[in-house]
Amino acid sequence: MTDEPLLRVSALSKFYGSRVGCENVTFDLWPGEVLAVVGESGSGKTTLLNCLSTRLLPSSGTASYRMRDGQWRELYRMSEAERRFLMRTDWGFVHQNPADGLRMTVSAGANVGERLMAVGDRHYGRIRATAVDWLSRVEIDEDRIDDEPRAFSGGMRQRLQIARNLVTSPRLVFMDEPTGGLDVSVQARLLDLLRGLVTDLGLAAIVVTHDLAVARLLSQRMMVMKDGRVVESGLTDRVLDDPRAPYTQLLVSSILQV
């Protein structure tokens, strides 16, 4: 663990006209740390994620990122091209719906290889070998490498999206409901896989989820959002086992026991 954060977010707000998307969000994220953002639909968690990943520009506030060379850069002052480059190399974004993060009409191998080519790799054999390696790490058989994701099940598509994102060894990955819409057994496999990858690669991640069990399994820290504001934050197990804010108590007490 280094002593410097990877991402510093200060007083970030996003308004849609007079409506609040998210308001006055402040936090630091360190390398290797997984932060879960939880709350019900409409709480502003996806707006926050989109602002942090620069897919949306905030109305006010700042976010700084420590680049690989150690230099701090303000995200919202970078040029569009610089942000796109960051997104393709040092960052990943795992969408809830894999179709939003994959190219559905090119092969699985090309989906993974494309990100490598974006960072300048041109050697076909090496790209293919890396793609095969990553497919096996997300438990997709090598003989599916030439199939299009259209022919994959939902769980396989999600694993392919994860491979596509991680192949360039990003340091920060944004995930929007990564297990949403999957069967419970498929979810468990994906969670276990994500947990292993995050630990082995030392990734920092910001995971938006409404599922508190997902938050508990993947994250060390948690922020609870309601109506665009952070109502509680802290260690994940502390927030879940000793919730302090009224809304967090409601969320935790609403979990169905199996």
Partner 1 sequence: MATPLVVSDVAKSFTMHLRDGITLPVVAGVSFSIRAGECAVLGGPSGAGKSSILKMLYGNYAVDEGQIIVQHGSGLIDLASASPRTVLSVRRHTIGYVSQFLRTVPRVSALDVVAEPLVERGEDRESARTRARALLAQLNLPEKLWALPPATFSGGEQQRVNIARGFITEHPILLLDEPTASLDAKNRDVVVELIAAKKAAGVALLGIFHDVDVREAVADRVIDVTAFAAGKIAA
User: What does the binding site for partner 1 look like in residue numbers (CB under 8 A)?
Assistant: 1, 30, 33, 188-189, 191-192, 195, 217, 220-221, 234-235, 237-238, 241-242, 244-246, 249-250, 253
Residue 191 CB, shortest distance to partner 1, in Å, is: 7
Residue 237 CB, shortest distance to partner 1, in Å, is: 5
Residue 213 CB, shortest distance to partner 1, in Å, is: 11
Question: Is 226 within 8 Å of 43 (Cβ atoms)?
Answer: yes
Residue 132 CB, shortest distance to partner 1, in Å, is: 23
Task: Count CB neighbours of 175 within 10 A.
Answer: 27
Q: Which two tokens stand for residue 152?
A: 């994959």
The tally of CA atoms less than 13 A away on the side-chain side of residue 5 is 13
Q: What distance in Å separates the CA atoms of residue 144 and residue 7, rounded to the nearest whole number? A: 37
Q: Which two tokens stand for residue 209?
A: 């989820």
Residue 5 CB, shortest distance to partner 1, in Å, is: 9
Residue 28 CB, shortest distance to partner 1, in Å, is: 9
Residue 246 CB, shortest distance to partner 1, in Å, is: 4
Q: Which is nearer to partner 1, 37 or 127 (CB)?
A: 37
Q: Which two tokens stand for residue 65?
A: 């990122």
Q: Which is nearer to partner 1, 168 or 248 (CB)?
A: 248
Q: Which is nearer to partner 1, 145 or 205 (CB)?
A: 205
Q: Is 213 helix (H, G, I), strand (E, B) or coil?
A: helix
- Give the total residue count for the chain: 258
Q: What distance in Å separates the CA atoms of residue 96 and residue 175, rounded to the nearest whole number? A: 8
Q: Which two tokens stand for residue 220?
A: 């060390």
Question: Is 93 within 8 Å of 165 (Cβ atoms)?
Answer: yes
Q: Which is nearer to partner 1, 47 or 236 (CB)?
A: 236
Q: Which is nearer to partner 1, 60 or 249 (CB)?
A: 249
Q: Which is nearer to partner 1, 197 or 245 (CB)?
A: 245
Q: Which two tokens stand for residue 235?
A: 């260690």
Q: What distance in Å separates the CA atoms of residue 90 and residue 8, rounded to the nearest whole number? A: 16
Q: Which is nearer to partner 1, 46 or 236 (CB)?
A: 236
Name the nearest CA neighbour of 215 among 179, 258, 245: 179
